[in-house]
Amino acid sequence: MNNKVKRIFVNPFTISIVAVIALAALMIIGTLYWLDSYTNHDTELVVPDLKDLSESEAAKMLKDKHLYCEVVDSVFMKGKKPGNVVDQTPVAGAKVKAERTIYLVINARSPRKVALPDLKDVSVRQAEAILNSVGLRVEKYEYVPSVYKDLIEDVKFDHKVMLSGERVNEGSAVTLCVGMGPGNEIVPVVSLRGLSLDQAIDKAHSASLNVGQINYDVQPISELDKTLYVVYKQMPITGKEVSMGQPITLFLTKDKKLLDTPEEVYIDSSAVQPKEDDLFAQ
């Protein structure tokens, strides 16, 4: 190394610059190590499944895993124990860092009350949409004499006529009293075979009919299990003419083989048997 190079390295100014660079590098490295430690970099925890646990049980389980919880909402769900967790964010199985907050939705201790909307003189389809938008549903239709056809005359809850603005539990089912016009109209029974219960109810309502008694060949074990059943038989049978609003008895099964048997269809015997005058004419 020549003298010129030696002078550069022993120069106090050069030494100061090198020292500052070295110190900055050490500070950066130290900061990165501290951030890794503070944020638990590369250290992840699996979020446990908290559904159906009470709020205190969920909090304890999370605390054992160095996590926290916060209740952000409550909903009312039938069949769920009040105060238990019904939803969580992040979901079970997600990976998070320690000290993370898990947000919980718990089952309310009582259903929320909603105001019954004004459905007077509203069409059937519009009334259904309005009820669904406020958290209510249609249980059945009653057809009543009226000046105009297919408009809502009254709304009933627990067999009592309700006024608009009265409050009922969210999720309740109401009866819509539908005007059938001045006459007592007759409608044909539509086929509901092969449909789920919800589909059968919708189709019956569209045909101005109601669903009455519901029979399962094997009793469902849960609400979810009910969705696997389909209609394999109905009374009155398809094609029979009945009064508007007539209830139809349904028979449901999970055994799709029962749908292989021919459907019972009503045939008017007078339409296929020869008339007496025709027999004498032969």
H-only helix segments in the chain: 3-10, 12-38, 55-64, 124-133, 197-206, 223-226, 269-272, 276-281
Pick the CATH number of 185-282 from 3.30.565.10, 3.60.150.10, 3.30.10.20, 3.40.50.880: 3.30.10.20
Residue 11 pLDDT class (50, 70, 90 cuts): low
Which residues are 157's β-sheet partners?
A: 160
- Mean pLDDT over 45-62 rounds to 93
- The CATH class of the 111-183 domain is alpha beta
Residue ranges of the domains in the chain?
Answer: 45-107, 111-183, 185-282
> Which residue from 255, 263, 201 is spatially nearest to 238, judged by alpha carbons?
263
pLDDT at 280: 47
Q: What is the pTM of this model?
A: 0.49
DSSP track, 159-213: TEEEPTT-EEETT-EEEEEEEE-SS--EEEPPP-TT--HHHHHHHHHHTT-EEEE
Beta bridge mates, 140: 175
pLDDT at residue 64 above 60? yes
Task: Check if the beta carbon of residue 214 is closer than 8 Å to that of residue 250.
Answer: yes
Residue 3's pLDDT band (cuts 50, 70, 90): low
Fold of 45-107: Trypsin Inhibitor V; Chain A (3.30.10)
Q: What is the pLDDT of residues 15-50, one digit of tens each?
A: 677 677 877 878 887 776 666 665 555 578 999 999
pLDDT digits (tens, 9 = 90+) for 119-152: 999 999 999 999 999 989 998 888 877 778 889 9
Q: Of 4-8, 33-37, 69-73, 176-180, where does mean pLDDT reach its minimum?
A: 4-8
